[in-house]
Chain A
Amino acid sequence: AQSVTQLDSQVPVFEEAPVELRCNYSSSVSVYLFWYVQYPNQGLQLLLKYLSGSTLVKGINGFEAEFNKSQTSFHLRKPSVHISDTAEYFCAVSESTGNQFYFGTGTSLTVIP
């Protein structure tokens, strides 16, 4: 069965510092990868996605992620965070076969002024 691991449940970081949120997955088939953000009391919003091609994908709000097939990882990065980036971040995987998305347990990013 597919599994998605977000190793860090909470990440505190100072404003304007860089951040990396880690995501690893397990799958024996081709996958499509997504990062979502959830602000307090809201639904999830797509940050970026990897379908194929270049392993570095850029998303909204200055975020980017790199797909590493050999390490089955899809880590999310931002070079300089802002207070408004404080939110919950979810990594998700969709297999090329089947209908489901598989979500990680989320990483709570707190940006400290």
Chain B
Amino acid sequence: DVKVTQSSRYLVKRTGEKVFLECVQDMDHENMFWYRQDPGLGLRLIYFSYDVKMKEKGDIPEGYSVSREKKERFSLILESASTNQTSMYLCASRIRATYNEQFFGPGTRLTVL
């Protein structure tokens, strides 16, 4: 079974802090994704990476950056956390090819005070 793990289930940070969210997958998937999920808005894509050191902006990249130094790990960075970044963050991975489904991690609920 594919396993996607996220470093924290719950995280509380203060405004202005630098925040790192880590995601690891164990199935050698090329593609990895970061979403944020908010009530009534569904899932919105922040960034995705189609291979190591490759990244593309999604629909809402402002205030975020990413890093993919190794194939299994995809990190989301909030350079200076703000209260409007309080949300559920979901990581996903997929074998390359658009017909393949994405596999999701359990999510990190981030609260910025």
Complex alpha-carbon distance, A51 and B99, angstroms: 7
Point out residues on A near B: beta carbons under 8 Å. Answer: 9, 32, 34, 36, 41-46, 49, 51, 90, 92, 94-101, 103-106
The number of A-B residue pairs with CB atoms under 8 Å apart is: 55
Are A43 and B104 also in contact (CB < 8 A) when A94-B99, A95-B98, A98-B98 are? yes
* Docked-complex contact B56 and A99, CB < 8 angstroms: yes
* Docked-complex contact A100 and B99, CB < 8 angstroms: no
Which of B43-51, B67-75, B77-85 makes up part of the contact surface? B43-51
A-B contact pairs, 12 of them (CB 8 A): A32-B99, A43-B4, A43-B105, A90-B43, A97-B98, A98-B98, A99-B50, A99-B56, A100-B45, A104-B42, A105-B42, A106-B42
* Distance in Å: Cβ of B49 to nearest Cβ of chain A: 10
Q: Is B25 an interface residue (CB 8 A)?
A: no
Q: Is B41 an interface residue (CB 8 A)?
A: yes
Neighbouring A residues of B101 by C-beta, 8 Å: 34, 46, 49
Q: Is B106 an interface residue (CB 8 A)?
A: yes
Neighbouring B residues of A32 by C-beta, 8 Å: 98-99
Complex alpha-carbon distance, A14 and B92, angstroms: 33
Q: Is B102 an interface residue (CB 8 A)?
A: yes
Known: A43-B105, A49-B101. 7 other contacts (CB 8 A): A42-B106, A43-B107, A90-B43, A96-B99, A99-B56, A103-B42, A105-B40
Q: Is B61 an interface residue (CB 8 A)?
A: no
* Docked-complex contact A90 and B99, CB < 8 angstroms: no
Complex alpha-carbon distance, A106 and B33, angstroms: 19
* Distance in Å: Cβ of A102 to nearest Cβ of chain B: 9
Neighbouring B residues of A41 by C-beta, 8 Å: 9, 106-107
Neighbouring A residues of B50 by C-beta, 8 Å: 99
